[in-house]
Chain A
Amino acid sequence: MSDTTDGLVLAADGRPLKQSLRRALLRQKIRALMLIAPLLLFVVVTFIVPILSMLFRSVENDIVPVTLPGVVTELAEWDSSTGEPPSEEVFRNLYIDLFKASEAKQHTRLGTRLNYEQTGLSSLFRTTGRSLDDIGEEWQDPLEDIDANFKDGAFWFEMMSGSDGDTFLEQRRDLLAEMIGESMAGDVGFVPSEQVAKMLPWTSRAYADFAIWTAIADNDVVAEEDPWEAVYGALGMDLTSPDTISAIGSYSGPGAEALQAAVANLDHLPQDGFREAFAAENGDWVSPDVWATIKLYSPSVTPGYFLNAIDMELTPDGIEQKPENEQIYTQLFIRTLIMALIITASCIVLGYPVAWLLANLPMRTSSILMILVLLPFWTSLLVRTSAWKVLLQQQGVINEILVWLGFVNDADRLILMNNATGTVIAMTHILLPFMVLPLYSVMKTVPPSYLRAAKSLGATNWTAFWRVYFPQSVPGIGAGSILVFILAIGYYITPEIVGGTSGVFISNRIAYHISSSLNWGLAAALGTILLIVVLGLYWCYDRIVGIDNVKLGG
């Protein structure tokens, strides 16, 4: 800097001109940004943030680790390639987690989620969810026979209560709160005993869950309620451990007698473990495939939805192509692109002459004709689509006229809708104004004298048009095409009504997953891919034509 100070040019106020100019430029920039800022902020807050958070669902997979926390931890050690079902430990965790989940009615959602990956898991979770009580009763009945105190809720409360168990209780509370996605804050009215928690680890977990749920979700008093069947099942788990048995021998706190009686009568309790109990409910529980799926989808972030969206799947052996009869999405993406292209092309073919006519007629006539273009544009999309339904169906207006005129046999009427033809015709009509308006505004700026000049210089009609006029109208074609293409690719109501099964777009699939199958993750993944395609196109367009050249009428 210092070496140029000598040659400084000063502005009127005595400052160096360079600085002054820079300041003016800065001020101009700031003013421009201030003008843009409110809108930018508005769009970012009301649109960009919601969209991004929606798209995030395409990788989110919290539901598995949150609903089955114990299972997920334990399952990490299981190797799916052995072909063996996981250990008894996993099934015990499954029982505790699933029981809690079914009380909170979350197991059905988990089943639905896992069913996206392996068909059959939804019914597995739902049917099992209904018989979890029965599994617990296999332990509850003999325990109550051994000592009638086990029937009494107050007795359980006394046995499990004690001191120093706050941390443990909070842990269980957090797990529950995470699972249902709501705060479980509030007074439980129960403090677990740390001594019992060490002696009966499973039972304490089950009882703590029961206590928190009873007090917070059901608003009942813990001591007055009979414990869940899961608590009895959990006691059964504890009673298989030698450590627990020896600890009970030297235990003298509340419920010691009943526990010692249970230890003395271990042969009255079921000898099979929880793996067998689950297997008896449904054989699929010991299928390694089921467990492989659960393990694959244990992490809280998953590529699964994206893979599904391109007809791939995550398997224990890595990423694989789906079986042929389940591949639908790539085909659908391609169909969407091709149909959007056909629609865009027919809009160009139909829109170009009309726009030319409008641009070259005297204002009076062209404004009247413009009304004809704008009229359908002002008519509700739904109405226009249903109008096309009336026109295109087999007993519709077009077929009736053709039959009446004798061009088509009554028996083999043209099938114009519930297929791709219907979608193309109706959407061309609906999107045509979006092509005509930008084309018109560009053509309006092309001086007609150019064409005359070319002709007077000896060009044939065709040459004059193709070499002189057409290149000048290309920005209009570009603007119209990008508009029509982008709008077409995202349509779903029109294809839904006139497209049948073979004329629907990827958007229909997205809508289906959002409102019927409730697979929002897959919908988000499909949407993300679609969005990337559109953004790519937009980028190319901006590169080639420049977004400033898009004009809509006016």
Chain B
Amino acid sequence: MKFIKTLSATTMLALVATSGAALADDHMASDMTLVSWGGAYQASQIAAYAEPYTAMNEGVTITWDESSAEAVAKLRAMNEAKNVTWDLVDVVAADALRLCDEGLAMEIDPNEDLAAAPDGTSAEDDFGDLLVSECFIPQIVYSTTVGYRSDMVPAGAAAPTDICALFDTKTYPGMRSLEKRPINNMEWALLCDGVAKEDVYDVLGTPEGQEQALAKLGTIKDSVIWWSAGADTPQLLADGEVFMGSTYNGRLFSAIVEQGQPISMLWDAQVFDLDGWIIPAGLPEDRLARVKDFVKFATDTQRLADQSKYISYGPARASSAPLVGKHASLGIDMAPHMPTDPENSKNTFLYNYEFWADYRDDIDAKFQAWLAQ
């Protein structure tokens, strides 16, 4: 029943979209530049969003630019040069907040710009709390978590189960890989330095708290390889260069399940985060019309659920969750690999967007100076 309902809803949507496109062709640009992260994630977006869209809208070409990592800098430069060449940019929520704060991203109206759920729930309610900024259109929930080499656990030691194993170089010797930025690392450091979960951001807001977190990180500074690209930790783990390292859960899923590497992952104190689209501010009308058309299609219930066939990130819509199916090529159930699965989210850590939007500059300056010492 549900299946038929979704099917009819999507066909209707598709019909609306095609007829809309046919009508709107005059005032819609025929090509779009989408910015994303490259790799398996971008591949999942192409398969779930872009290919169905271009199949429906003949003559539309989509160019992909793998520059999400430098999106903030590039958008600022484009804005200053008054030459925005991007139409839609995939960024993590923290970057979206920052871009929105600086007026580089366009504000959207969820109910008008996004499709409602098949059962009629408005987009605003369907996305719920995940609409963390006026400019941000969430796609997926991911988590930053820690993976370790299961074959390198020292004899006599139990396999690590909690996040503080990162800081326990006595029990678990070996290198670690951590992201070359304060976000997540500082929170984990405080958690493992005895700060209660609910107090972490209060403490981190004070200079003393920042010193405390850096001091805790300082205890393992010599055994850390700092990564800045998403592919680094899985590669370092596969090489056995590091014993454990932080990365996105989808990367670990790919290394463990798809590549069969001897890696295990922790679901402890995983940091929930969001990734989604923003539309750059100041697009010309025809390009804006095309992008809005695409976004409405690409973030509907079925499309978001489709994406999880290719990668283990949870769809951002509540209505997509029941539609999460099996892996496109391996045929395994994807639900247990989602960060949102109840089994995996027993002890999660809630990322505080507002805090990082406000304190990112401050703490980043301190962190980088600390790193360079």
Contacts and interface: CB of A to CB of B under 8 A. Distances in A.
B70 A515 contact: yes
Interface in B167-217: 175, 181, 207
Most buried by B among A120, A126, A509: A126
Given A126-B357, A516-B73, A516-B181, 11 more contacts: A105-B101, A119-B362, A119-B366, A122-B361, A123-B361, A127-B358, A181-B80, A332-B372, A395-B240, A501-B371, A514-B73
B103 interface: yes
Contacts of A501: 226, 371-372
B372 A112 contact: no
A514 B226 CA distance: 19
A67 to B, nearest CB: 12
In terms of DSSP, what is the predominant structure of the interface of chain B? helix
A516 B179 CA distance: 13
Interface string A497-512: 0001100000001001
Given A105-B101, A108-B101, A501-B226, A515 B73 contact: yes
A538 B40 CA distance: 46
A328 B371 CA distance: 10
B364 interface: yes
B369 A326 contact: yes
A104 B281 CA distance: 12
Interface residues of A, number: 34
A418 B225 contact: yes
A109 interface: yes
B235 to A, nearest CB: 9
B76 interface: yes
Contacts of A518: 72-73, 76
Most buried by A among B73, B76, B241, B362: B362
A517 B365 contact: yes
A483 to B, nearest CB: 29
Contacts of A119: 361-362, 365-366
Contacts of A514: 73
Interface residues on B, range: 20 to 34
Contacts of A512: 368
A105 B100 CA distance: 8
Interface in A67-111: 104-106, 108-109, 111
A395 B236 CA distance: 10
A396 B235 CA distance: 12
Contacts of A500: 225-226
Contacts of A326: 369
A500 B175 CA distance: 13
Given A418-B225, A514-B73, A122 B368 contact: no
Interface string B232-272: 00000001110000000000000000000000000000000
A369 to B, nearest CB: 34
Contacts of B80: 181
A285 to B, nearest CB: 15
